[in-house]
Amino acid sequence: MSENNLGDHISHRFDEELEAVRNQVLKMGGLVERQVASGISALIEHDHTLARVVARSDVKINALEVSIDEQCTQIIARRQPTASDLRLIISVIKTITDLERIGDEAEKLGEYALRVENEGIRARHYEQLQHLGDHVLKMLRDSLNCFAKMDVEMALLTIASDKRIDDEFESVSRNLITHMMEDPREIASVLHVTWCARALERIGDHAKNICEYVVYLVKGKDVRHISLEQVAEEVDIELDIDIEDGDK
Amino acid sequence: MADKPDIEQLIGDTVGEIHVDAPKMSTRNCNVFYGDKQAIFDVNLDFGKHSVVALIGPSGCGKSTYLRCLNRMNDTIPICRVMGKLSLDDEDIYAREMDPVLLRARVGMVFQKPNPFPKSIYDNVAYGPRLHGLAQTRADLDEIVVTSLQKAGLFEEVKDRLTSPGTGLSGGQQQRLCIARTIAVSPEVILMDEPASALDPIATAIIEELIDELRENFTIAIVTHSMQQAARVSQRTAYFHLGRLVEVGETNDIFTNPRHELTENYITGRFG
């Protein structure tokens, strides 16, 4: 099927409009990704300048969301898209909502990084977020790549990787709780780290949603709220990973 | 035909579910020829009761030819041959004992251009019932005319001028008059060949609303060039290409997730 193909419409203008929307989403994805990367760096490297930038820089992301929404509305009103075109527009509208929320979570990371400075919160526990942060950033990048390439197989693998992030989050949480129990004076500081871990975990969830929209876009199957095993079966792809614990 | 294998390969077997439970009409291995030229190739399709099937496809794909087979309108074209099993309630409509005039009373047709007879509004609707002797008295006939005009959503607009010529109505009203004329003989199936393509958007919307209401009492097959119209009025959609039935399915599925590439290309407006 020509499902990966935005072009070839009899109306070239329509081709251009769809391509423009897609490029805007990729641009928004790029901004969000940089925002998350900066948020993580700001926390872990105690970079307050960066933290300040992250905490205030989602204006551009929000503006892009509004602009893409508007473009999609115009396309629906003027082109009445069907089939894969319709699914593209629906996926874009949903994807940018998740991207915007990822931007919000990243902004939170920036705010927490600032608090380290402003409220004298001890920073040393933030190192524990390094691993989780790396995973989340990779998952976000993968999900954006899936969207760019409309790659269903990669989308399924990325959906599966959310389980690892959840596990990582559990493990970080257990560690942090142990710290709190060992030294109650640390509770306030450690709680902040827990909230940051939570924000990272949420970013993973949003990245997973984006991958689900990619599956919908390419295959026309709604794979939300079903197990990864069922997803693979629905889209008729054999996954080369262990998905026994890939429940949602 | 030299290019036949390529086309067969490109199109393949019909994708989707051609069957419905207790079909009102069905065709099996329907092949139509105009002289030596084959226009329809092995079309298998069921038409369910109280349901609208939209036949879509590019110009020359055979959708109108196929539609016209369903009430033997092609009989009037000497070089046209129809083969295969075409049935109405399991009766073979091409059987020797089937009277095409009676068949067309059971399977009515509405055409692209409104074609009222040069008679009064009343006589247009009364024409069929008179021909088939459906009314014993003048009162019976009056009732049929009024009910038919009501069902066609036209009565309120014309009740004060039933004796005026039907040709004096607006295009949309004329088309509804033709629908009233069709339903006056109580058909079981209504075939519509581009019933709204000569009408403005308001008249089109009224016809589409009417189609949805008529569905309660009739089985409807509609040929349309407007994909949006097919999406709006039908429950099932059949996509024709080069005389083949490429894909048939629930309209909900066809317009969101068609399975055949040719269907996808057509409904999204891509080069095939």
CATH number at residue B50: 3.40.50.300
| Token duo for residue B46 | 């069921």
Cα of A9 to nearest chain B Cα, Å: 4
Q: What is the pLDDT of residue B114?
A: 92
* Residue B252 or A231, more confident: B252
> Is 50 exceeded by the pLDDT of residue A151?
yes
Among chain A residues, CA nearest to B267? A82
Contacts of A85 in chain B (CB under 8 A): 268
Task: Give me the mean pLDDT over the A5-12 stretch.
Answer: 83
Q: Indicate which CATH number applies to the domain containing A142.
A: 1.20.58.220
**Angstroms from B241 CA to nearest CA on chain A:** 17
**pLDDT level of residue A245 (50, 70, 90 thresholds):** very low
CA-based nearest distance A76→chain B, Å: 12
Give the residue from B22, B27, B28, B69 showing the smallest Cα distance to B50: B22
Identify whether A215 is part of a domain.
Answer: yes
pLDDT for A119: 66
> B218: burial class by Cβ within 10 Å (0-12, 13-18, 19+)?
buried
**Percent above pLDDT 90 for chain A:** 64
Cα distance between residue B115 and residue A46, in whole Å: 81
Number of C-beta neighbours around residue B78 at 10 A: 7
| A155-164 pLDDT per residue, tens | 999 999 999 9
Average pLDDT for residues A1-11, to the nearest whole number? 67
- Residue A82 touches partner B, C-beta closer than 8 Å: yes
Test the B interface: residue of A4, A11, A82 with most B CBs within 10 Å: A82
What's the confidence (pLDDT) of residue A164?
92
Between A7 and B150, the more confident residue is: B150
- What band does A120 get if pLDDT is binned at 50, 70 and 90? low
Q: Is the pLDDT of residue A5 over 90?
A: no
Residue A240 lies in a domain: no
A-B CB pairs within 8 A amount to 44
A11 chain-B contacts, CB cut-off 8 A: 269
**Rounded distance, CA A166 to CA A130, Å?**
15
User: Mutating which of B234, B246, B270 best tests the A interface, going by the most A Cβ atoms within 10 A?
Assistant: B270
Residue A239 falls within a domain, yes or no? no
Q: What does the pLDDT read at residue B4?
A: 58
* Assigned token pair, A46: 């105690």
User: Buried b vs exposed e over B236-258: b needs ≥16 C-beta within 10 Å?
Assistant: bbbbbbbbbbbbbbebebbbbbb
Residue B45, in any domain of the structure? yes
CA distance A23 to B33: 50
Q: Is residue B9 part of a domain?
A: yes
Q: Which residues of A touch B264 (CB under 8 A)?
A: 1-3, 83-84
**A77 CA: distance to closest CA in chain B (Å):** 13
Choose among A11, A80, A220: nearest Cβ to B257.
A220
Is a pLDDT exceeding 50 seen at residue A153?
A: yes
Confidence of residue A248 (pLDDT cuts 50, 70, 90): very low
In a domain, A159, yes or no: yes
A80–chain B Cβ distance below 8 A for any pair: yes
Please name the member of B227, B231, B268 whose beta carbon is closest to the beta carbon of A84. B268
Label residue B3 by pLDDT band (50, 70, 90): low
A85–B contact, CB cutoff 8 A: yes
The reply to whether A84 touches chain B by the CB within 8 Å rule is yes
Identify the pLDDT of residue A48: 87
Is A45 inside a domain boundary?
A: yes
- Residue among A100, A97, A75, A86 at smallest CA distance from A20: A75
What is the structure's pLDDT at A3?
43
β-bridge mates for residue B192, sequence order: B110, B222
**Ranges A82-96, B96-110, B173-187, B195-209: which has the least confidence:** B195-209
Residue B271 reports pLDDT greater than 90:
no
Confirm or reject contact between A59 and chain B (CB < 8 A).
no
Residue A190, H or E segment: helix A187-219
A4 to A8, A92, A210, A215, B248: CA distances (angstroms): 11, 14, 16, 12, 23
Question: What pLDDT shows up at residue A246?
Answer: 43
If one counts the domains in chain B, the total is: 1
Q: What is the ipTM of this complex?
A: 0.79
Task: Determine the pLDDT at residue A122.
Answer: 65
pLDDT of A6: 74
A87 CB within 8 Å of a chain B CB: yes
Compute the distance between CA of residue A3 and CA of residue B100 in angstroms, rounded to an integer: 46
With CA atoms as reference, the chain A residue closest to B263 would be: A83
Question: Could you report the per-residue pLDDT of B51-78, keeping only the tens digit for each?
Answer: 999 999 999 999 999 999 999 999 989 9
Domain assignment present for residue B35? The answer is yes
**Domain ranges, residue A107:** 12-234
Which of A2, A81, A87 comes nearest B261 by C-beta? A2
Q: What's the CA gap between A12 and B18, in Å, rounded? A: 35
Which are the contacts of A125, defined by CB distance < 8 A and separation ≥ 6? A176, A179, A186, A189, A190, A193
Q: Per the domain annotation, does B158 fall within a domain?
A: yes
Residue, of B5 and B97, whose pLDDT is higher: B97
Contact B175, B195 (CB under 8 A): yes
Place of tokens 């629930």: B250
The pLDDT-based confidence of B149 (bands split at 50, 70, 90) is very high
Taking contacts as CB-CB distances below 8 angstroms, the residues of chain A near B256 are 82-83, 86-87, 220
Q: How many helices and strands in chain A, by DSSP H and E?
A: 8, 0
Question: What average pLDDT is seen over chain A?
Answer: 89
Minimal-distance CA residue of chain A relative to B272: A8
Q: Is B221 exposed, middle or buried (0-12, 13-18, 19+ CB in 10 A)?
A: buried
The count of domains in chain A is 1
Region B123-146: what's the mean pLDDT? 94
Residue A6 has φ and ψ, to the nearest 5°, of -85, -25
| pLDDT (mean) for B21-49 | 96
- pLDDT computed for residue A227 by the predictor: 84
B positions 211-270 inside 8 Å of A (CB) = 227-228, 231, 255-258, 261, 263-265, 267-270
Q: Which domain holds residue B136?
A: 4-267
Rounded to an integer, the average pLDDT of B40-44 is 96
User: Which two structure tokens, joined as six digits, stand for A153?
Assistant: 């197989």
Task: Report the residue from B231, B257, B268 with minimal CB separation from A9.
Answer: B268
Tell me what pLDDT residue A121 has: 62
Lowest mean pLDDT among A188-192, B30-34, B171-175, B222-226: A188-192
Residue B5 has pLDDT above 70, yes or no: no
How far apart (Å, rounded) are the C-alpha atoms in residues B224 and B229?
7
